[in-house]
Structure 1
Amino acid sequence: MVLWVFGYGSLIWNTGFHYDERLVGYIEGYHRVFYQGSTDHRGTPEYPGRTVTLQPAEEEVCWGVAYKISKEEDKQAAISYLEVREKQYDQKAYVDFFTDSSGSTPAVSGILVYIGSSDKKSNKNYLGPASFEEMAKQVVTAEGPSGPNRDYLFQLEKALLQLGCKDAHVMALADEVRRILSQDRKIS
């Protein structure tokens, strides 16, 4: 049996596991938002970074990348790796993945996706919505073992644009971070 994994954040440009095939496409009924706190990769417990999670949204789609993993040893290694990497995400879902914009027939059914829910009891790192200015200030200052939070944001924006996806939420946050950084440069 083959394992498929959907990446909608850093998995797009930094997979971290062996795979046999990579497809660009989308899942339906969700949109990407910077509402998940990161205290282990792009921030610390004292200064959490912001990373993306999925939020249910009827009539919307979330573009990303699907990875096909066929070999048993690669599947086990990928799951072990993802369980550590995605440990701050409290839910796993199995969804349909589409490559055709008509959305009539899924290219893959039952693709695994990790989600940080808005339930603060099961997801202690959920930060939730905030203004773009507030989120941007947090992104500018947060840094963790995987590097500055702003690098995550800018790499995600670049990776999505390379896929042909203009994600309004990601782009608006990136623009606000750039605005803050350019102001900081003018002051110093």
Structure 2
Amino acid sequence: MDEFWVFGYGSLMWNPGFPFEERVQARLMGYRRSLCVRSWVHRGTEQQPGLVLGLDRGGSCRGVAFKVSDANRDETLDYLRQRELVTHVYIERLLPLKLDDGRIVKAVTYVVDRAHHQYGGGVTVGEAARIVNAAVGQSGPNPVYVANTVAHLREMGIRDHWLEAVVAEIAKLEGVGVE
């Protein structure tokens, strides 16, 4: 049986929620981490949607690959489908990753469905900052989600300049560091 790998690019990187045998930083080509999913439950409402992460077309994305044992394969896949496919804004794909140690593996990955009504890609840094800054959902304020994501990425040695620019713009909107 082939090895079972899972790719995380957002909270899955630091909060996978499933047992794994190996954790390696990796790069996915052809997709980028993006605030491209309108959230109207966890980080916003239908009247004031927030933005959460998705993998959108273009570029590349640094993240984490998790190797899952055969014994945990089915349980992990069930868990991931419950976590990621709630509103079907994500599509499950098996895509090649380049691990930091040079290996190439195929991993279960969740990419955004651009045809889904929750797709909100193509926003500028300023637009994203304004949307995020105004949104609060059941899981809390949208700006906290984005700032925590950037902080976790930095702790892992992963830079996401676009997300960092959104956080900086939110700080300006909130008057943080502005005299």
Global fold match (TM > 0.5): yes
Give the structure 2 partner of residue 93 of structure 1: 93
Distance, in Å, in 1 between the alignment partners of 2:6 and 2:40 is 23
- Encode CA deviations 1:96-118: one digit per residue, 9 max, x unaligned: 111348xxx5x242201101121
- Encode CA deviations 1:122-160: one digit per residue, 9 max, x unaligned: x12111222322211211122222222112211211122
CA displacement at 1:64 relative to structure 2: 0.5
- Using the size of structure 2 for normalisation, the TM-score is 0.86
Distance, in Å, in 2 between the alignment partners of 1:63 and 1:113 is 13
RMSD, aligned CA: 2.3
Distance, in Å, in 1 between the alignment partners of 2:156 and 2:174 is 26
Give the structure 1 partner of residue 149 of structure 2: 156
- Using the size of structure 1 for normalisation, the TM-score is 0.82
CA displacement at 1:56 relative to structure 2: 2.1
| Residues 124-163 of structure 1 mapped to structure 2, 5 A cutoff | 124-163=117-156
Identity %, equivalent residues: 31
Give the structure 1 partner of residue 66 of structure 2: 67
CA displacement at 1:24 relative to structure 2: 1.0
CA displacement at 1:71 relative to structure 2: 4.3
Secondary structure of the structure 1 residue equivalent to 2:152: helix
Secondary structure of the structure 2 residue equivalent to 1:98: strand
CA 177–70 in structure 1, closer or farther in 2 if over 3 Å, else same: same
Query: How many positions carry a matched residue from both structures?
Result: 176
Give the structure 2 partner of residue 114 of structure 1: 110
1:30, 1:62 within 8 Å by CA — same for their partners in 2? yes
Unaligned runs of 5+ in 2: none
CA displacement at 1:85 relative to structure 2: 1.8
Distance, in Å, in 2 between the alignment partners of 1:5 and 1:46 is 34
Unaligned runs of 5+ in 1: none
